[in-house]
Structures are given as C-alpha cells and as structure tokens.
Amino acid sequence: MMYVAMLATLCGLSRAVSAFAPVSVVKPRLHSSTIFSSQVAISPDGAATTQDSPVEKLHELFSKQITNEMCASQLYLSASIWCESKEFVGMASYMRKESDEERAHALSLVDFANKRDIPITLEQIPAPVCEWRKLEDLWRDLLESEKGNTKALYELADAAQAAHDHAVTSLLLPFHSEQVESEGNLKTILAKVHEETLTSGLVYQLDTELGVSANKP
C-alpha cells in the first residue's frame, strides 16, 4: 500500500511540472516573394492598405508608358488627317511622321520589356480628338499632349531609380532628350500659328517648311 501511495505522489508531481513546462511555438515560414512583393501599411485612420513594391510600381508604369506612346501616336495621326482635309499638306506630313515616331517608341518599349521579362499589360486606347475649331487649337492640344507624356516619363524614371533598375534608367535617357526637343519645336510652331492673325500668309509658309522637314531622312 505504501508503494502505491508513493507512486501516486510521484505521478502528481510529474503532472504539475508538465503544466509549467515551456510550450514551443512553430513560426510560419515566409516565402521570399511575400517579402519582396506588396507590403501592408496602416493609413492614418487605422485601416490596412496594400502598397506595391518598387519593382511592381516600375512594371505598372512601364506598361502605362506603352499606352501613353500609342495614345500620342493616335493623336498625331488624327491631327494629320484633319490638316490634310484643310489643305495643310505640309503639316499633315509632319504630323504623320511624328505619329510613326511615337508608335516606334511604344514598340521599342515592348521589345525591351520582352528581353527583360517585364510583364506587359496593354490598356485600351481611347479615341483621339478629331475635330478642332481652328489650327491654333490643334497645335496647342499637341503641345499639352507632349507635356503630359514628359511628366509620365519622369514618373517612370523615378520608379526605375527607386527599384534600382539601371537598365530602364539608361533606356529612358534618349526619351527625355527627345521630349525637350519636341516641346521646344511645338512651342515655336504654336507661336508662328498665333502670329498668323498679324502676318497674312505666314501659316502657309510654315506649312511648306514643315512639309520639307517631314521629308528629310
């Protein structure tokens, strides 16, 4: 009987010690893609929001820039058609050439993305403006379009720097130079078109000059 009692006492002590023993916690393993993709942030009102990683943001803006270039191409083509209908054949040729260049920009971005395995999502391209009240309005729309494209390229360049993607940064350098030249040319043309109200025949002289410029290789 004494042996049984001692055994019962030892079992009770064993249960008591087990109750206070440390419990091991198995931490879940995080996949590397979880760490480097979207991050969860807390907004000022306490709500959880998802933020894209720098690489995801770069890829998003890269795809949008392809759309931007195609939109610019469509606008120049629409302007070319309008000018042709108004017998401004030189301007029509100039804008047709600009349309081709904008499309070439878009395709160069596509080629680069394919080489770098950058995912591309093509977006719907809205129909461009096709009617203008006067020639000056047309050139002003083209200038504003170029300004918008310049801003978008700057945002893409900022995203490339944030993602430390030096290849994209290098790719965009000629784009920036071309935008400076394009905006400068459009400002000069717009000023000359505006002066048409003071100097009769100036716009037709400009039309001839732009036609010659468009036919240069």
How many CB atoms lie under 10 A from the CB of residue 150? Answer: 17
* Residue 17 confidence class, pLDDT cut points 50, 70, 90: very low
Tell how far CA 101 is from the center of its chain.
Answer: 18
H or E segment to which residue 91 belongs: helix 89-116
User: Given a cut of 50, is residue 211 above it in pLDDT?
Assistant: yes
The predicted-structure confidence for 142-195, as pLDDT tens digits, reads as follows 999 999 999 999 999 999 999 999 999 999 999 999 999 999 999 999 999 998
Residue whose structure tokens are 């393993």 = 29
User: Given a cut of 60, is residue 27 above it in pLDDT?
Assistant: no
* Residue 36 confidence class, pLDDT cut points 50, 70, 90: very low
Helix axes 135-162, 166-194, angle to 10 degrees: 160
- Residue 197 has a pLDDT of 65
The predicted-structure confidence for 108-124, as pLDDT tens digits, reads as follows 999 999 999 999 999 99
- Residue 200 has a pLDDT of 74
Give dist(CA 179, CA 72) in Å, integer: 12
Residue type, 24: S
CB-CB contact of 122 with 42 (8 Å): no
Which domains are assigned to the chain?
Answer: 54-215 (1.20.1260.10)
Q: What share of the chain is helix, strand, coil (3-state, %, to 5)?
A: 70, 5, 25
- Residue 216 has a pLDDT of 84
CB-CB contact of 79 with 186 (8 Å): no
Of 20-24, 69-73, 99-103, 140-144, the least confident: 20-24
| 157 Cβ contact list (under 8 Å, min separation 6) | 169, 172, 176
How many CB atoms lie under 10 A from the CB of residue 161? Answer: 14
Structure token pair of residue 60 = 């998003």
User: Given a cut of 80, is residue 26 above it in pLDDT?
Assistant: no
For residues 142 and 7, the model is more confident at 142
Q: Are strands 39-42 and 48-51 parallel, antiparallel or unpaired?
A: antiparallel
Give dist(CA 141, CA 79) in Å, integer: 10
Give dist(CA 115, CA 40) in Å, integer: 31
- Residue 123 has a pLDDT of 94
- Which of 182, 196, 209, 180 lies closest to 134, judged by CA? 196
Residue whose structure tokens are 């064993």 = 14
Give dist(CA 26, CA 24) in Å, integer: 7
The predicted-structure confidence for 39-95, as pLDDT tens digits, reads as follows 544 555 655 456 789 999 999 999 999 999 999 999 999 999 999 999 999 999 999
The pTM assigned to this predicted structure is 0.77
